[in-house]
Structure 1
Amino acid sequence: MYLLNGFLGEKYQRVNKIIDSYHSVQNNYINMEACCSYPFESVIDAQRYPIFTLPTEGVSGSRFFPAFECIEDIDIYSEELVRTLFDLDTNYNVTTQPHSGTQANQIVYNAVLSENDVVLSLSPKDGGHISHNKISKNQNKVINYHLTPEFEFNYDEIEELTQKNKPKLIIVGASSYPLQIDYNRIALIAHKYNAFLLADICHTALYVLGKTYPDVFPHADFVTFTMDKTLRGPQGGILIYKCEFSKLIAYSIFPISQGGPLQSLQFAKMIALVELSSINLENYAKLVQDNSKIICKKLVERNITVVTGTSNTHLILIDVRALKTTGNLVESRFYENNVLVNKNLIPGDQTSPDITSGIRLGTVCISNLNYSNEDVTLLAEIIANILLNPAIQNEGIHYLVEKYHKTINISN
């Protein structure tokens, strides 16, 4: 899929071995990891530009070094693009400075949390992200809410815990939750009890943009996401926040939470936003979601336990306990068959994060490569075979790798 050029010269021998190794994985494995997408070719090109030679600490309108106007333009144009893509009103501001999605969350924590403030977030065993549960500043106490037995967000529990514990911040978002989230309902609870709402939409940003998923605006006070999970951008975060928090966020970005911005990544984020502005996001979102549904349906037909039965995103969570195995062993089994998935905790999991009772799959990368419906169905059969019959040789993998992963070359 990718054509990675090496470096000329004997001193780069080890470097070129690293490139060759990465190239081999990219072009010989079916990537079904749920936390990545294949970047637009222009995004890869953008990261070749030396846009990192001028220090630009500070925020738009308030920099600490001269000759910042070019970076200021990146900030301004990126904000315009985000505003248009999400149809934001004037109550929100945007920054593309966060180095990651987790960093974007930390910027919010450092901006609004004081000593001993309480935070409410989804339990990691129910799909909550680890960065929503490890908040080191000011000895903040994190209390978890959970899913219902039907794998829905337990909105009644959220309200009960909010009323009882008076959290300063409620975090909504997950790294392995395939169904829809009612952001409005949680916002009503948060604001009823004077809590702020942070919506981490790293795994749902595409569907919010494509209007195939409940909207997070104007309900949330803060919205964070990354560009690389579903949006075909570079690694790096974006933070959208209500204007009333502008001074707190600016000071939290620098000097509290991070140093200067990574200008090359900001430039690449801007290019990705330009690309996203030029495509039909509803079609892209539906393609990813439809591919998830095809795979879920086939797995259920093969009596494999899909935790939520279906998916409204790219995420598919599989319970492997009935197969008398564990997630880490299944992850290795898939890797041996040239398919990349990851071990993952599932609701009610009694194992540890490095063992797990489940695996997590994603359909973004195969959607980026335009897998046909027939080949997605074939891939679903392959997944079922790997789970149920480890000894079977899956010739279909070679066919799919040759068809989709070796014939599309994007050069650096």
Structure 2
Amino acid sequence: MTDPILDPAAGDPLAGDPEIAALLQREATRRRGSLQMLAAESTATPAVRAAVGSILADKYAEGYPGHRYHGGVDVVDDIEELAISRAHELFGAEYVNVQPLSWALANFAVYAAFSQPGDQVLSLSLKHGGHQSHGSRANLSGRWFTVLNYEVRADTEQIDYDQIRELALIHRPRILVAGGTSYSRSWDFAAMRTIADEADCIFWADAAHLAGLAVGGVLDSPVPHADVVTVATNKVIRGPRGGLLLARGEHADSLSRAVYPFIQGAPAMHSIAAKAVAFAECLRPGYAAYARNVADDAAELSARLAERGLRTVSGGTDTHIAVVEVSSLGISGREAARRLAACRIIVDKAVTPFDEAPVAEGSAIRFGSAVMAADGLRPAEMSTVADLMIDAMRTDPDDVARQAAITEAVAAVGEK
């Protein structure tokens, strides 16, 4: 008997699960005609989605190519080697590990490879744009390690490398971290390397948000400078949700053991195939134009919002991320995000570096431009987007008619 799941003639494979099919359709409808502006999201390409949904989802392949625990791995060995080869070409790193199931697990592998519980880690403060996996007390990293934070300058809201050097030389941390989730400016990775050398510590660049822009030629790459680089293969890269480790060759053994068997078991081979697809797509000439458009959209939208009275933290952005203060509108970041969502503009609430508002409310919103760029929106259209955002944030939550009018205008832009 032919397995209906594998038989293309069997029709819709979800026909037997109408509840999930309906929910997937709802999600497609939610996205259609809206402005998806979450900084953490991008749009996976059709080829990436095909690989994620492929037969490889069934395959168990614990271990590394040539050294698997299970049999029947000749094909997946070739797939993983291909993904590694493409990552070498794309990023120029001496060591590549494509197995981390997520960006956060790639981050934890760095801790496992280079430190012991209780060791000191120096990273960007969460309120100043860092990430919870860099030492938040709500996260394993903040409970297992002694975390010290550096902050942005009060006058420019940009990284203070003198402060980092001072803290590093006083405390001599085991790991120095560059990178964050809400910091919109480029990093001086060469300066961070110099500081790490002076303090005799491991320099880790968390490039989850930056790697796609770096390979697209928009930002400098951290790979030549850092001991280890972690990457999220979704976001601007437009690959599957997953993690990637890039490092100097001298760290290969410790990082390989940290991923497997210390952090995780068998890798997700369907995700590794999709990573290989994404790396190949990033190597194509058109990707650089996409990456440039991502950055240009973010910079242009920030500038247009500034013209309308909303200040962008640090005065602008070099990346796809911007944190925009909304307190001048008389609302919190949380309320701003709620009003925007009511008009199908999806952003995050956020705090500013020296925010006096409660974290749960915040004084700002955070947006990203990767999905807009993937959907074909260009800098010339950011003035219209800025107008729609301002209108939505100024609209009373009970004014349903006004919300409907803005939503219709958003759909016209989102369905470009």
Distance, in Å, in 1 between the alignment partners of 2:313 and 2:372 is: 21
The answer as to 2:19 corresponding to 1:14 is yes
The answer as to 2:291 corresponding to 1:285 is yes
Residue 370 of structure 1 deviates from its aligned partner by 0.9
Local SS of the residue matching 2:236: coil
Residue 395 of structure 1 deviates from its aligned partner by 4.2
Distance, in Å, in 2 between the alignment partners of 1:33 and 1:180 is: 19
TM-aligned CA distance change 1:116 to 1:358, over 3 Å: same
Alignment of 1:11-410 (within 5 A): 12-88=17-93, 92-133=94-135, 134-136=139-141, 139-149=144-154, 150-390=156-396, 393=403, 395=405, 397-402=407-412, 404-405=414-415
- Decide whether the 8 Å contact of 2:169 with 2:198 is kept in 1: no
Q: What letter corresponds to residue 126 of structure 2 in structure 1?
A: P
Structure 1 stretches lacking a partner, 5+ long: 408-412
Local SS of the residue matching 2:58: coil
- Decide whether the 8 Å contact of 1:114 with 1:138 is kept in 2: no
Structure 2 stretches lacking a partner, 5+ long: 1-11
- Decide whether the 8 Å contact of 1:315 with 1:363 is kept in 2: yes
- Deviations 1:6-28, CA, capped at 9 Å, x for gaps: 7213xx23222321221221214
Distance, in Å, in 2 between the alignment partners of 1:326 and 1:135 is: 30
Residue 259 of structure 1 deviates from its aligned partner by 1.3
Local SS of the residue matching 1:269: helix
Residue 389 of structure 1 deviates from its aligned partner by 4.6
Local SS of the residue matching 1:120: strand
- Deviations 1:171-209, CA, capped at 9 Å, x for gaps: 110111111110110111012111001111111112211
TM-aligned CA distance change 1:257 to 1:401, over 3 Å: same
Q: Report the TM-score, using the length of structure 1 for normalisation.
A: 0.91
Distance, in Å, in 1 between the alignment partners of 2:288 and 2:216 is: 4
- Deviations 1:197-234, CA, capped at 9 Å, x for gaps: 11111111122112221221211011011121111111
Q: Which residue of 2 aligns with 1:410?
A: none
TM-aligned CA distance change 1:369 to 1:349, over 3 Å: same
The answer to which of 54-63 and 376-385 deviates more is 54-63
Local SS of the residue matching 1:308: helix
Residue 65 of structure 1 deviates from its aligned partner by 2.0
TM-aligned CA distance change 1:60 to 1:246, over 3 Å: farther
- Decide whether the 8 Å contact of 1:34 with 1:314 is kept in 2: yes
Distance, in Å, in 2 between the alignment partners of 1:184 and 1:280 is: 28
Residue 356 of structure 1 deviates from its aligned partner by 1.7
- Decide whether the 8 Å contact of 1:187 with 1:197 is kept in 2: yes
The answer to which of 23-32 and 226-235 deviates more is 23-32
Distance, in Å, in 2 between the alignment partners of 1:322 and 1:138 is: 37
Local SS of the residue matching 1:248: helix
The answer to which of 18-27 and 216-225 deviates more is 18-27
TM-aligned CA distance change 1:342 to 1:6, over 3 Å: farther
Distance, in Å, in 2 between the alignment partners of 1:166 and 1:279 is: 43
The answer to which of 74-83 and 137-146 deviates more is 137-146
TM-aligned CA distance change 1:148 to 1:70, over 3 Å: same
Distance, in Å, in 2 between the alignment partners of 1:137 and 1:249 is: 21
Q: What letter corresponds to residue 46 of structure 1 in structure 2?
A: A
Distance, in Å, in 1 between the alignment partners of 2:353 and 2:20 is: 42
Q: What letter corresponds to residue 43 of structure 1 in structure 2?
A: V
Residue 404 of structure 1 deviates from its aligned partner by 4.2
**Count of residues in correspondence between the two structures:** 397
- Decide whether the 8 Å contact of 1:291 with 1:363 is kept in 2: yes
Distance, in Å, in 2 between the alignment partners of 1:298 and 1:267 is: 40
Aligned-pair identity in percent equals: 26
- Deviations 1:232-271, CA, capped at 9 Å, x for gaps: 1111111112221222112111221111101111111111
Distance, in Å, in 1 between the alignment partners of 2:34 and 2:362 is: 23
Q: Report the TM-score, using the length of structure 2 for normalisation.
A: 0.90
- Decide whether the 8 Å contact of 2:134 with 2:142 is kept in 1: no
Residue 81 of structure 1 deviates from its aligned partner by 1.1
Distance, in Å, in 2 between the alignment partners of 1:121 and 1:98 is: 22
TM-aligned CA distance change 1:77 to 1:357, over 3 Å: same
The answer to which of 129-138 and 145-154 deviates more is 129-138
Residue 290 of structure 1 deviates from its aligned partner by 1.1
- Decide whether the 8 Å contact of 1:126 with 1:147 is kept in 2: yes
- Decide whether the 8 Å contact of 1:378 with 1:396 is kept in 2: no
Distance, in Å, in 2 between the alignment partners of 1:6 and 1:403 is: 33
Q: What letter corresponds to residue 132 of structure 1 in structure 2?
A: H
Give the root-mean-square deviation of aligned CA atoms. Answer: 2.0
Residue 121 of structure 1 deviates from its aligned partner by 0.5
TM-aligned CA distance change 1:228 to 1:172, over 3 Å: same
The answer to which of 73-82 and 125-134 deviates more is 73-82
Distance, in Å, in 1 between the alignment partners of 2:179 and 2:66 is: 31
Distance, in Å, in 1 between the alignment partners of 2:333 and 2:373 is: 24
Local SS of the residue matching 2:96: strand
